[in-house]
């Protein structure tokens, strides 16, 4: 499955994650800062709950009428002169895009950050076709220069790297001569990329929300790269997951507000760009040709089922930023471009249980994710559902999963590990213990303990547990 970022198994990835001390420090710091910023930005509104409810009702409505709105969207894109391609699979999407690139005889593509193109492995496909593909988002650019290091966070892809590492990569690959100061590094990237925008044949973007009524797409960014990607090359290709749309500008506005506050704690990011069709005939900048590629790639099998609500996701990463397990093991441990709670729910659905069956256990079921999700996806319930499905399917939870269960269970229950967890996680569900098993949880934990006795808290930390289990210890 192409969204895979690693061939090593779950245990190796987790091991690597918890032994990378910079990464872990960075993740902790990032969670603190992003958590605080998000809280400030949401509290400031005074009625955040109302906003979440509106976000939820919009997303639910769209999913329930997805066929109607996709039809409306595609009609309106084409009315404005854009081309729409519906791709049921990643292969179909890649093939279409490669076709456009060939037709334009394009040699150089500049890209703005897009998770769905990562999901379908578009870059690789275009590179194989002999095209140079340049990521322009600063974080993505850093990863690309570093021999395609995979992203570890859906909003801040290079979160696992420190500035010294980035300096070393730039020095080695880009002949960079300056220091590790973030400004100097960023400016170097700016200089390098300016020429690329001006000489690229095609610009490729993702899409935060498409607007059905007008056939528009919107891009939410801070750096300004997406604007250069969509105004300088003569051809623009936008790739969107089929669920990423809204009826009109009015709902787009609400979701953008939810997204920017939840993702980065900003009222709005520096750039929100709403593009409709190719540029007008006499416009000098903007693309002459516009293609919208709408991707299913497994989403329609989620639709209509018990996991439908995961398609409400607006990719804000708030759930990742509060997750105590993500904090502990880092993004790469998930083995998928989608990490954290959203990844633990979505990756098994898009990529299959074979590759991702451990992920639903990569959770303490503490419910912090559900509490912060701006569109009210019941994330921890969906994780629980996954576990039930896996057990049903396999007859039992394979031993490693039992262990993972326990590992992450301890995460929620053990005070030492819990303290490592996010301070933004709700504390109301710290478990009650009787003997060495928890018999009764409160809040979200309750549903879980009703089904299965929960391991009691002890001083053992997840890190130690993980070491321990290798030696054959603690396999209950």
Interface with ligand SF4 (CB under 6 A): 313-319, 342, 372-375, 377, 379
Residue 350 binds to other proteins (criterion: CB under 8 A): no
Interactions with other proteins, residue window 4-43 (CB under 8 A): 26, 29-30, 33-34
Using the minimum distance from each CB to other proteins, give the nearer residue, 280 or 392.
280
Residue 369 binds to other proteins (criterion: CB under 8 A): no
Of these partners, other proteins, ligand SF4, none, which one is at the site of residue 142 (CB under 5 to 8 Å by kind)?
other proteins
The DSSP 8-state label assigned to residue 315 in this structure reads -
Residue 473 binds to other proteins (criterion: CB under 8 A): no
Q: Which region among 2-10, 212-220, 408-416, 440-448 touches other proteins (by CB under 8 A)?
A: 212-220
Handedness of CA 178, 180, 181, 182 (dihedral sign): positive
Tokens in use for 197?
């925008």
Choosing from 183, 392, 395, 435, the residue that interacts with other proteins (CB under 8 A) is 183
Is the distance from CB of 118 to CB of 297 less than 8 angstroms? no
Using the minimum distance from each CB to ligand SF4, give the nearer residue, 119 or 289.
119
Phi and psi at residue 293, to the nearest 5°: -110, 115
Q: Which region among 12-20, 274-282, 422-430, 468-476 touches other proteins (by CB under 8 A)?
A: 274-282
Residue 256 binds to other proteins (criterion: CB under 8 A): yes
Residue 166 binds to other proteins (criterion: CB under 8 A): yes
Residue 450 CB, nearest distance to ligand SF4 (Å)? 25
148 CB-near residues (< 8 Å, 6+ apart):
none
Q: Which region among 180-188, 314-322, 338-346, 400-408 touches other proteins (by CB under 8 A)?
A: 180-188
Using the minimum distance from each CB to ligand SF4, give the nearer residue, 202 or 366.
366
Bridge pairing between strands 83-87 and 289-295: parallel
User: Could you count the other beta carbons within 10 Å of the beta carbon of residue 212?
Assistant: 25
- Residue 286, judged by CB atoms within 10 A of its CB (0-12, 13-18, 19+), counts as middle
Using the minimum distance from each CB to other proteins, give the nearer residue, 332 or 406.
332
Using the minimum distance from each CB to other proteins, give the nearer residue, 96 or 465.
96
Task: From residue 215, give the alpha-carbon distance in Å to each of 132, 277, 282, 388.
Answer: 30, 7, 20, 40
| Residue bearing tokens 């130690």 | 464
Of 353, 322, 358, give the one whose Cα is nearest residue 340. Answer: 322
Using the minimum distance from each CB to ligand SF4, give the nearer residue, 93 or 313.
313
Is the distance from CB of 314 to CB of 255 less than 8 angstroms? yes
- The number of residues making up the chain comes to 476
The b-or-e profile of 363-386 (16+ CB within 10 A means b, else e) is bbbbbbbbbbbbbbbbbbbbbbbb
Helix (H, G, I), strand (E, B) or coil at 446: helix
Helix (H, G, I), strand (E, B) or coil at 441: coil
Using the minimum distance from each CB to other proteins, give the nearer residue, 11 or 54.
54
Using the minimum distance from each CB to other proteins, give the nearer residue, 175 or 195.
195
| Residue bearing tokens 């919208």 | 292
The DSSP 8-state label assigned to residue 4 in this structure reads B
Of these partners, ligand SF4, other proteins, none, which one is at the site of residue 432 (CB under 5 to 8 Å by kind)?
none
Residue 307 binds to other proteins (criterion: CB under 8 A): no
Using the minimum distance from each CB to other proteins, give the nearer residue, 264 or 445.
264
Residue 276 CB, nearest distance to other proteins (Å)? 5
Choosing from 132, 213, 355, 474, the residue that interacts with other proteins (CB under 8 A) is 213
Of these partners, other proteins, ligand SF4, none, which one is at the site of residue 301 (CB under 5 to 8 Å by kind)?
other proteins
Q: State the DSSP H helix or E strand holding residue 30, giving kind and residue range, or none if neither.
A: helix 21-43
Alpha helices for 246-307 (secondary structure H): 249-264, 299-302
Using the minimum distance from each CB to other proteins, give the nearer residue, 136 or 364.
136
Interactions with other proteins, residue window 130-149 (CB under 8 A): 136-139, 142
Residue 173 binds to other proteins (criterion: CB under 8 A): no
Residue 262 CB, nearest distance to ligand SF4 (Å)? 6
User: Residue count at the site for other proteins (CB under 8 A)?
Assistant: 111
Residue 96 CB, nearest distance to other proteins (Å)? 8
The DSSP 8-state label assigned to residue 287 in this structure reads -
Of 387, 318, 330, give the one whose Cα is nearest residue 359. Answer: 387
Residue 353 binds to other proteins (criterion: CB under 8 A): no
Residue 286 binds to other proteins (criterion: CB under 8 A): yes
Residue 444 binds to other proteins (criterion: CB under 8 A): no
Is the distance from CB of 30 to CB of 159 less than 8 angstroms? yes
């Amino acid at each position: 499955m192409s969204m895979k970022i690693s061939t090593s198994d779950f245990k190796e990835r987790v091991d690597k994650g918890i032994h990378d001390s910079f990464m872990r420090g960075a993740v902790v710091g990032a969670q603190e800062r992003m958590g605080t910023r998000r809280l400030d930005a949401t509290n400031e509104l005074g009625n955040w709950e109302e906003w979440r409810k509106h976000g939820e009702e919009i997303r639910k409505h769209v999913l329930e009428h997805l066929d109607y709105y996709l039809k409306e969207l595609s009609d309106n894109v084409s009315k404005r002169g854009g081309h729409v391609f519906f791709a049921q699979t990643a292969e179909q999407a890649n093939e279409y895009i490669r076709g456009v690139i060939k037709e334009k005889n394009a040699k150089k593509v500049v890209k703005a950050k897009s998770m769905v193109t990562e999901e379908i492995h578009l870059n690789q496909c275009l590179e194989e076709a002999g095209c140079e593909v340049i990521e322009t988002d600063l974080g993505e650019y850093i990863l690309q220069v570093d021999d395609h290091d995979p992203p570890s966070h859906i909003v801040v892809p290079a979160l696992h790297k420190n500035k010294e590492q980035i300096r070393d990569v730039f020095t080695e690959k880009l002949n960079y001569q300056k220091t590790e100061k973030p400004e100097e590094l960023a400016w170097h990237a700016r200089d390098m990329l300016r020429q690329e925008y001006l000489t690229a044949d095609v610009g490729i973007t993702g899409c935060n929300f498409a607007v059905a009524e007008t056939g528009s797409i919107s891009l939410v960014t801070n750096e300004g790269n997406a604007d250069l990607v969509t105004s300088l090359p003569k051809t623009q290709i936008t790739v969107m997951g089929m669920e990423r749309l809204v009826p009109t500008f009015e709902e787009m506005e609400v979701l953008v507000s939810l997204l920017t506050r939840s993702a980065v704690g900003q009222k709005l990011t520096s750039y929100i760009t709403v593009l409709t069709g190719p540029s007008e005939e006499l416009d000098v900048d903007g693309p002459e040709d516009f293609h919208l590629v709408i991707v299913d790639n497994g989403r329609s099998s989620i639709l209509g089922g018990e996991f439908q609500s995961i398609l409400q996701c607006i990719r804000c990463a708030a759930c990742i930023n509060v997750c105590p397990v993500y904090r502990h093991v880092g993004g790469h441990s998930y083995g998928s471009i989608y990490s954290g709670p959203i990844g633990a729910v979505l990756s098994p659905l898009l990529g299959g249980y074979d590759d991702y069956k451990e992920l639903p256990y990569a959770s303490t079921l503490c419910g912090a994710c559900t509490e912060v999700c701006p569109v009210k996806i019941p994330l921890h319930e969906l994780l629980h559902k996954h576990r039930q499905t896996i057990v049903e399917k396999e007859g039992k939870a394979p031993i490693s999963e039992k262990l993972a269960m326990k590992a992450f269970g301890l995460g929620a229950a053990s005070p030492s590990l819990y303290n490592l967890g996010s301070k933004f996680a709700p504390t109301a569900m710290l478990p009650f213990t009787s003997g060495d098993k928890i018999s009764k949880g409160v809040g979200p934990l309750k549903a879980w303990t009703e089904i299965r006795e929960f391991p009691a808290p002890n001083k053992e930390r997840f890190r130690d547990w993980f070491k321990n289990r290798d030696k054959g210890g603690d396999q209950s």
